[in-house]
Amino acid sequence: MSIQIFIDGKFFPKEKAMVSVFDHGLLYGDGVFEGIRSYNGRVFKLKEHIDRLWESAHTLMLTIPMTKGEMVEAIVKTLKKNRLRDGYIRVVVTRGVGDLGLDPRKCPRATVFIIADKIKLYPESLYQKGLEIISVATTRSHPETVNPQIKSLNYLNNILAKIEAVNSGYEEALMLNAQGFVAECTGENVFVVRGNELLTPPPYLGILRGITRACAMEIGTSLGLDVREEVLTRHDIYNADEVFLTGTAAEIVPIVKVDNRVIGTGKPGRRTGEILAAFRGMTRTDGHAF
């Protein structure tokens, strides 16, 4: 049976799950989304994801036509309908159907859809060997253009960076902000281990305030590391003892080379391994049971 997609309160099989070509999510990238994961029948950090979705929508003055409680129910219903205990959930709220102009007032009601599917796991070799990444010329959006803290449907900034990385033979791009400070990767936040310090760029530099990022910071503190948000340059990245990325889909990914500079020993670091293990422990026990 094909997967069942939630659209505005009803379920449709994947082949029949459609939104209008007049939806401003499609015409203008006008909308917000979340990527959430469930582990063994628990939705991990569900409240945090829902709060971030509402914050993104608030800035865009986009009214989500349901309560947060109803959103929780809709997500759980979608998982259950698809018999998924370990899944990846994509929640999308678009501005809705309007005319060909960009005026959001022409869109009377937001469109909400939820896709729950099997998570495509990264190969275990990625966590064993680590990943090599490259910094790219496309800078992260300035916070006063489209603030990277808004998880909006407009991901062209990240896609341009991804294209640059792929063109150079790499899977992931390190993005700087317009001032040349390290921001984040196209779909993950970045961390540096330096001695006893665990450092990550502050949100005001122009990053998404990642939920896995918050977990890594919490775990770092519990491991006795000095966890701080700090302005970092590429020099700081090249000379770190360890570098890793965090994200809902990727979890914690060790980085072993950046712009051909070997990081630390050139192998996934000890602290990165400890943080990954603790994170996987968290995903087994925390979360909204369904």
Binding part of the chain for ligand PMP, among 90-98, 191-199, 205-213, 218-226 by CB under 6 A, reads: 205-213
Of these, 138, 248, 272, 283, which contacts ligand PMP (CB under 6 A)?
A: 248
Residue indicated by tokens 């998924």 = 84
Nearest 10 degrees: Cα torsion 110, 19, 84, 2: 160
Catalytic residue, from 16, 80, 118, 151: name it.
Answer: 151
Q: What is the largest CA-CA distance in the chain?
A: 57
Q: Closer to ligand PMP at the Cβ: 139 or 248?
A: 248
In this structure, the number of other CB atoms found within 10 A of the CB of residue 280 comes to 12
Kindly identify the residues of this chain, within the stretch 142-171, that bind ligand PMP according to CB under 6 A: 158
Q: Give the nearer residue to ligand PMP in terms of CB position, either 107 or 237.
A: 237
Residue 246 touching ligand PMP (CB under 6 A): yes
**Structure tokens of 269?**
């670091």
Which residue lies nearer to ligand PMP by CB, 97 or 134? 134
Binding mask 170-189 for ligand PMP (x = CB under 6 A): --------------x--xxx
Q: Based on the residue annotation, tell me whether 16 is a catalytic residue of this protein.
A: no
| Residue placing its CB nearer to ligand PMP in the complex, 68 or 267 | 68
- Taking the complex as a whole, the smallest distance from the CB of residue 28 to ligand PMP amounts, in Å, to 19
Query: What gap in Å lies between CA 42 and CA 215, rounded to an integer?
Result: 16
Could you tell me the smallest distance in angstroms from the CB atom of residue 190 to ligand PMP?
Answer: 9
Tokens of 94: 């678009």
Residue found by looking up tokens 């409240």 in the block: 47
Residue 198 beta carbon to ligand PMP: minimum distance, rounded to whole angstroms: 16
Q: Which is nearer to ligand PMP, 23 or 184 (CB)?
A: 184
- Of 90-98, 103-111, 112-120, 246-254, which segment contacts ligand PMP by CB under 6 A? 246-254
> Can you give the length of the chain in residues?
290
Residue with tokens 């000095």: 226
Query: What is the residue-wise DSSP string for 15-49?
Result: GG----TTBHHHHH--EEEEEEEEETTEETTHHHH
Are 256 and 263 within 8 A, CB to CB?
yes
Report the chain's C-alpha Rg in angstroms. 19
Does the footprint of ligand PMP cover residue 283 (CB under 6 A)? no
Q: Of 24 and 213, which has the nearer Cβ to ligand PMP?
A: 213
Amino acid at 35: G
Q: How many binding residues for ligand PMP (CB under 6 A)? A: 14
Phi-psi region of 139 (alpha: psi -120 to 50; beta: other; left: phi over 0): beta
- Residues 2-41 binding ligand PMP (CB under 6 A) are 35
Residues labelled catalytic: 151
Q: Which residues bind ligand PMP (CB under 6 A)?
A: 35, 158, 184, 187-189, 208, 210-213, 246-248
